[in-house]
Amino acid sequence: MPSRNTHLSAVALAAVLLLNAPAALAAPQELTLKDSIAAAVSNNPTLKMAGADKDRAAWGVDEAAAGRWPTLSLGSTYSRQPASSRAPASEGVNNSLRLNWQLYNGGRTEGLVDQAEEGLKSATLGVDKAEQQVRLDAAAAYFAVLQNKNLVTVNEESVKNLQQHLKTAQAKYNVGLVAKADILRSEVELANAEQNLIKSRNSYELALASLKNVMSVDPASEIVLTDTLKYEKFAKTLEDSITLARAKRPEIAQAEASVNIASSGVKVAESGNIPTVTFGASKGWSDSALPESGSDWTVSLAANWNVFDAGLTKAKVRQADAGLAKAREQARQTADAVELEVRQQYLSMQEAEKRLDTTEVAIAKAEEDLGIAREKYDAGVGTNIDVIDAQLALAQARTNYYQALYDFNVSKAKLTKATGLAVE
């Protein structure tokens, strides 16, 4: 669960973004990745709903535990007899005070309490699970904004380079060194680059809107992200990650809680075959608000054994046994799914990591190739197509690099969540 300082920073952030709109508009709020995650954890409705489920489960424990204690009831009946030829009219009030305490019910109450406590454990784990997902969603949305910002930069550089090349081609055309086809092709490529720039800027705005939605802040608020996409190696091995996931993932612990709930359900069902013992006490009086002094209590101790119930208890036990078998299989399936998820995210992260190495080399070579193509074109020994192709190759290499960097960070965040740790 988030620390007190995390909550305070999230509340402060929400206050700036939601309650101080004019100030936010005047000065965009700077956000780190940590700030965005804290705001999402503080404001996200899914997490609040999980907290409400936990509160409900806690009251469920109290409800089940109430079966351990006696109950006391007070009753009052008013009656009136109209007059007849044989007797005058009469009326009166009969009161009663009854105590009932089931001393033993074959373990049914304890089974219900155990189920409720495991349900509370599962609901608490549900809060952890929801928080982990919210943290991942916020981090992924933050990375998406950074990624689209990088792509905007790539496309701006492409437009700038093609504008410069168009000027060079125009100057050479003006003195008769190149054909008009060079101008036309350069203009077409520039227009295409401007289209890509427009699309990338729109994608950036959409990514910002998605981040604000995850953070549950005012869509009109202005925010500026201060962190950057960077490469930081994941320290754990695949085997260490799988071991950590088995110990930390809320889903695995929830599955184990479901097995315990089903096991207690068998105990509850089997209680139908065991006698029950109940203690009772009652006091009755008439025509007064309080019992008369000297009136006695009636006390009883009763045992009941349902010797034959037409197979009802046996059917309940068989149903509970089947439910327990299903819960065990689901727990095994959950553990297998968690391990598969860890493997998938680890391999995806490694793939992106390898792509980073190759794309860095590709950028260096593409920059060198573009420089050579420009020099050859300026010297009159290269073609317009060579320059344009080199520029497109450089833009693609830079796009591939930022895509690999984004994929690495997202896969790393997903792997962190898959191991049961908090994304930060």
Determine the pLDDT at residue 22.
47
Backbone angles phi, psi at 85, to 5 degrees: -65, -20
String of DSSP letters for 131-162:
HHHHHHHHHHHHHHHHHHHHHHHHHHHHHHHH
Q: pLDDT class for 20, splitting at 50, 70, 90?
A: very low
**8 pLDDT above the threshold of 50:** no
**81 pLDDT above the threshold of 90:** no
Backbone angles phi, psi at 219, to 5 degrees: -60, -25
Q: pLDDT class for 291, splitting at 50, 70, 90?
A: low
**1 pLDDT above the threshold of 60:** no
Give the integer Cα–Cα distance in Å for 172 and 380. Answer: 9
Give the integer Cα–Cα distance in Å for 350 and 70. Answer: 62
Q: Which amino acid is at 146?
A: L
CA dihedral 402, 405, 411, 412 (to 10 degrees): -150
**293 pLDDT above the threshold of 70:** no
CA dihedral 154, 155, 159, 161 (to 10 degrees): 20
From the list 185, 200, 189, the residue with the least C-alpha distance to 159 is 189
Give the integer Cα–Cα distance in Å for 38 and 12. Answer: 10
Determine the pLDDT at residue 153.
96
Note the pLDDT tens digit of each residue in 42-63: 998 989 999 999 999 999 999 9
Determine the pLDDT at residue 28.
84
Note the pLDDT tens digit of each residue in 236-281: 999 999 999 999 999 999 999 999 999 999 999 999 999 999 999 9
Determine the pLDDT at residue 389.
95
Q: pLDDT class for 295, splitting at 50, 70, 90?
A: low
**385 pLDDT above the threshold of 70:** yes
Determine the pLDDT at residue 253.
95
**294 pLDDT above the threshold of 60:** no
**131 pLDDT above the threshold of 50:** yes
Determine the pLDDT at residue 202.
98
Percentage with pLDDT > 90 across the chain: 76
The answer to whether residues 227 and 141 touch, using CB atoms and an 8 Å cutoff, is no
**192 pLDDT above the threshold of 90:** yes
Tell me the HSE value of 300 on the side-chain side, using a 13 A CA sphere: 14
Determine the pLDDT at residue 21.
43
Residue, of 271 and 292, whose pLDDT is higher:
271
Domain boundaries, the chain: 4-68+107-273+311-418
From the list 157, 140, 165, the residue with the least C-alpha distance to 200 is 157
Note the pLDDT tens digit of each residue in 82-110: 877 777 877 778 888 899 999 999 899 99
Determine the pLDDT at residue 12.
47
Can you say how many angstroms the Cα of residue 208 is from the centroid of all Cα atoms in its chain?
20
Assign 251 to helix, strand or coil: helix
Determine the pLDDT at residue 27.
74
Average pLDDT for the chain: 89
Residue 130's CB: how many other CB atoms inside 10 A?
Answer: 21
Determine the pLDDT at residue 285.
80
Give the integer Cα–Cα distance in Å for 380 and 378. Answer: 5
Pick the most confident of 18-32, 82-96, 145-159, 276-290.
145-159
Say if strands 276-286 and 223-225 run parallel, antiparallel, or are unpaired.
Answer: unpaired
Class of domain 4-68+107-273+311-418: mainly alpha
Specify the DSSP element, H or E, that contains 124. helix 108-174
Determine the pLDDT at residue 195.
97
Note the pLDDT tens digit of each residue in 301-312: 999 998 888 999
Q: pLDDT class for 19, splitting at 50, 70, 90?
A: very low
